[in-house]
Amino acid sequence: MTGPLEQTEKKARWVELTLTMLKIGLFTFGGGWSIVAQMQKEFVEKRGWLTAEELLDIVAMGRSFPGIMVVNTSVMLGYTLGGLRCALLCGFGMAFPAFVVMCLVTGCYTAVRDNVWVARAMVGVRAAVVPIILSACLGMRKNAIKDHLGLVIAVAAFLLMLWGVSNVYIILLGGCVGLAVHILRMRRLAGEEGGGEG
For residue range 103-159, list pLDDT tens digits in order: 887 777 666 667 777 777 777 777 777 776 677 676 666 666 777 777 788 888 888
Collapsing DSSP to helix, strand or coil, 114 comes out as: coil
Give the whole-angstrom CA distance, residue 41 versus residue 52. Answer: 10
Spatial separation of the C-alpha atoms in residues 37 and 52, rounded to whole Å: 11
52 and 136 Cβ atoms separated by less than 8 Å: no
| Dist. CA 183–CA 86, nearest whole Å | 35
Give me the pLDDT at residue 5, please: 41
> Is the CB of residue 81 less than 8 Å from the CB of residue 17?
yes
User: Average pLDDT over the chain, rounded to whole?
Assistant: 77
Closest among 98, 122, 83 to 32, alpha carbons compared: 98
Q: Give Cβ neighbours of residue 99 (< 8 Å, ≥ 6 apart).
A: none
Could you count the other beta carbons within 10 Å of the beta carbon of residue 197? 6
Amino acid 3: pLDDT: 46
CA 21 to CA 95: how far, in whole Å?
9
As a whole number of angstroms, the distance between CA 140 and CA 47 comes to 17
Residue predicted with more confidence, 10 or 103: 103
Angle formed by the axes of helices 116-144 and 52-64, nearest 10°: 120
pLDDT, one tens digit per residue, over 106-116 is 777 666 667 77
69, 62 contact by CB (below 8 A): yes
In which band, very low, low, confident or very high, does the pLDDT at 2 lie, cut at 50, 70 and 90? Answer: very low
pTM: 0.57
First CA to last CA distance, the chain: 54
Q: Pick from 84, 54, 59: which is nearest to 74 by CA?
A: 59
pLDDT value, residue 6: 53
The single-letter DSSP state of residue 28 is -
Cα dihedral 83, 87, 93, 99 in deg (nearest 10): -160
